[in-house]
Amino acid sequence: MASPMKIRAQIQGSGAEIKILISHPMETGRRREAGGAVVPAHFIQHVTLSHNGKAVLTSQWGTAISANPFLSFTLKNAKKGDKITVQWVDNKNDTRTDEAIVG
């Protein structure tokens, strides 16, 4: 099972600043180990962010995203106490869902 995401959601102006750190190796399938064996591809393919149960961001990722990706953006009209949910699915069908409350 994947490590929990670190999610920070804080009110800033008329919205909330959302910062997300995802723990994931994001292997491209092109890197080789010291012995020459290829490290198998293992990367996040889909990310969905929901605000109070409504999807506000969906994205498709590939091998060009770095290990342990970091997302940061502003969500307009968010209020203190709102729930932010982040879910990802990788190419091995592993998933992770974590939540944070806007503070």
- Summarised one tens digit per residue, pLDDT across range 71-85 is 999 999 999 999 999
Domain that holds residue 46: 6-101
pLDDT tens for each residue of 30-80? 999 999 999 999 999 999 999 999 999 999 999 999 999 999 999 999 999
Residue type, 41: A
**Other residues' Cβ atoms within 10 Å of the Cβ of residue 86:** 21
Decide if 96 is inside a domain.
yes
Residue matched to tokens 């910062």: 19
Decide if 86 is inside a domain.
yes
Helix boundaries (H) for the chain = none
Domains in the chain: how many in total? 1
Decide if 1 is inside a domain.
no
pTM, 2 dp: 0.91
- Assign residue 69 the CATH number of its domain: 2.60.40.10
